A and B are shown apart, each in its own frame.
Chain A
Amino acid sequence: MSERKDWPLWEVFLRSKQGLDHKHCGSLHAPDGQLALQLARDVYTRRQEGVSIWVVRADQIIASDPAEKAAFFDPMQDKIYRHPTFYELPDEVNHL
């Protein structure tokens, strides 16, 4: 039986409507970007789910390591003063 010789994997990002961010919605295999885009349209926007599509080769994405999650994100954990709720203000101005 013939093999497809592993077309690269593409990650698909969709802007659901004008004014919103692109959001990851899935992935697919395609030999090139153009075809990836067309396949993404056929697979992920059959019911008008999107007005714009990005496709990115999965092997081009640099990702943080899940095993390093604790150490990697740790520096942010004790900086509660970065949140507005850290500051207790008098009632008169507490809507700030």
Chain B
Amino acid sequence: MYTQSLDIPSPAEGVPDPTALPLDELARSAAFNERAGSGEIVEAKDWMPPAYRKTLIRQISQHAHSEIVGMLPEGNWVTRAPSLKRKTILLAKIQDEGGHGLYLYAAAETLGVSRDELQAALHSGKAKYSSIFNYPTLTWADIGVVGWLVDGAAIINQVPLCRCSYGPYARAMVRICREESFHQRQGFDSLLAMMQGTPAQRAMVQDAVNRWWWPVLMMFGPHDKDSQNSELSTKWGIKRISNDDLRQQFVDAAMAQSEVLGVSFPDPHLQWNAARGHYDFGPIDWAEFWNVVNGHGPCNRERLQARVAAWEEGEWVRAAASAYAAKHPAPARAAA
């Protein structure tokens, strides 16, 4: 699932300053920028400017955290899914999110941070993750809407990352995007089934859409003019398409899909603009966005508590695995 302006700096560190380097490093850095910007792929052990490394660690780990925290709003519904079919689908989707988190943590680790460091940052509340997972999933329709709109937005955000300049990140994204398509389709399928049901079910879908629409638009991050990291990320070939362009692409696609589904979006300004060839939409409440990013959304505290509890309650499993490994030194088993 994932992302939002995937790269939100913590207030203390601000924007990386690429000029804060010794002179020879500066020249090396300039050459690097040119190569990365022109489509060359950077691999784990290649030289890279410290600011590039730092930006990637932050972005990839925020992305990984988002996948892991993203399992929580859906996990709430496993025992309450309306049928065995929907339950198995939901379980498969949640398992995918765990896998996506792992691909991304592994990509971040190639840059020289340890998994334990990354997880400690998440559990202490220091690391950021996508604002979208701090909203509650109140009804079964929310699970369908998370698949359709949240994963739909994630796909639009993530597809360009498959071509980003850092090889391990790009390869993880290819794998993730391949699996993400199932997430969006199962969500739409679930909503379609509800829309063919009773008036109460249809109302439940519309209510969920109303609550998720604006938070989903915020997933694309601040407007381009307010996005402090975008310029460097674009120069480095990490970011290929701007926040506003991705958001527009999403709105245009979602409008067409909403007609098939028979729902509307809660925005009186939404209308086709023939001159632009796109849908216009109303202003986004950025105060709400920053409030949620900074820890004051409806579920921030609950998510973090659930995440830490899951980690602590799993401790005995990890301890048992470590003890078993210590008792049974590696068996010599030939590869087949």
In the assembled complex, the Cα of A26 lies from the Cα of B335 at a distance in Å of 18
* A33 touching B102, Cβ below 8 Å: no
* B43 touching A6, Cβ below 8 Å: no
The answer to whether the Cβ of B126 comes within 8 Å of any Cβ in the partner chain is: no
* A43 touching B99, Cβ below 8 Å: yes
Stretch at the interface among B12-20, B50-58, B319-327: B319-327
Known: A1-B120, A2-B312, A66-B46. A28 touches B322 (CB 8 A): no
* A9 touching B109, Cβ below 8 Å: yes
* B123 touching A1, Cβ below 8 Å: yes
The smallest C-beta distance from B167 to any residue of chain A, in angstroms, reads 11
In the assembled complex, the Cα of A65 lies from the Cα of B44 at a distance in Å of 11
* A3 touching B116, Cβ below 8 Å: yes
- Option from B311, B322, B330 in Cβ contact (under 8 Å) with A7: B322
The smallest C-beta distance from A67 to any residue of chain B, in angstroms, reads 7
The answer to whether the Cβ of B115 comes within 8 Å of any Cβ in the partner chain is: yes
The answer to whether the Cβ of B331 comes within 8 Å of any Cβ in the partner chain is: yes
- Option from A5, A27, A66 in Cβ contact (under 8 Å) with B322: A5
Known: A4-B318, A54-B335. A32 touches B328 (CB 8 A): yes
Number of interface residues of A (CB under 8 A): 29
CB contact list, A3-53 vs B, under 8 A: 3-7, 9, 25-35, 42-43, 46-47, 52
Known: A46-B96, A66-B43. A6 touches B114 (CB 8 A): yes
The answer to whether the Cβ of B47 comes within 8 Å of any Cβ in the partner chain is: yes
Determine the chain A residues whose CB is within 8 A of the CB of B115 once the complex forms. 4, 6, 29
The smallest C-beta distance from A55 to any residue of chain B, in angstroms, reads 9
* B103 touching A33, Cβ below 8 Å: no
* B96 touching A1, Cβ below 8 Å: no
In the assembled complex, the Cα of A25 lies from the Cα of B172 at a distance in Å of 9
CB contact list, B83-127 vs A, under 8 A: 92, 95-96, 99, 102-103, 106, 109, 114-116, 120, 123
Known: A2-B312, A43-B99, A46-B95. A31 touches B106 (CB 8 A): no
Q: Hey, what's the 0/1 contact readout for B174-204 against A, CB within 8 Å counting as 1?
A: 0100010000000000000000000000000
Closest to A52 in B: B336
Known: A2-B315, A32-B325, A35-B325. A27 touches B106 (CB 8 A): yes
Number of interface residues of B (CB under 8 A): 35
Secondary structure class of chain B's binding surface, majority of residues? helix
- Option from A1, A43, A47, A67 in Cβ contact (under 8 Å) with B308: A1
In the assembled complex, the Cα of A9 lies from the Cα of B123 at a distance in Å of 22
In the assembled complex, the Cα of A3 lies from the Cα of B311 at a distance in Å of 10
Determine the chain B residues whose CB is within 8 A of the CB of A6 once the complex forms. 114-116
* A32 touching B123, Cβ below 8 Å: no
In the assembled complex, the Cα of A34 lies from the Cα of B329 at a distance in Å of 11
Closest to B319 in A: A2
* B325 touching A67, Cβ below 8 Å: no
The smallest C-beta distance from B90 to any residue of chain A, in angstroms, reads 15
In the assembled complex, the Cα of A27 lies from the Cα of B85 at a distance in Å of 32
The smallest C-beta distance from B82 to any residue of chain A, in angstroms, reads 24
Q: Which 8 pairs, one residue from A and one from B, show the smallest C-beta to C-beta distance?
A: A31-B325, A32-B325, A66-B45, A27-B106, A31-B321, A2-B315, A66-B46, A31-B322
In the complex, given contacts A2-B312, A3-B116, A5-B322, what are 19 additional A-B residue pairs having Cβ atoms less than 8 angstroms apart? A3-B120, A6-B115, A6-B116, A9-B109, A26-B106, A26-B175, A27-B106, A28-B106, A30-B321, A31-B324, A32-B321, A33-B330, A33-B331, A42-B95, A42-B99, A46-B95, A47-B179, A66-B43, A66-B45
- Can you sample 18 A-B contacts with CB below 8 Å? A4-B318, A6-B114, A6-B115, A7-B322, A26-B172, A28-B102, A28-B106, A30-B321, A32-B321, A32-B324, A32-B328, A33-B330, A42-B99, A46-B92, A46-B95, A54-B335, A65-B45, A66-B46
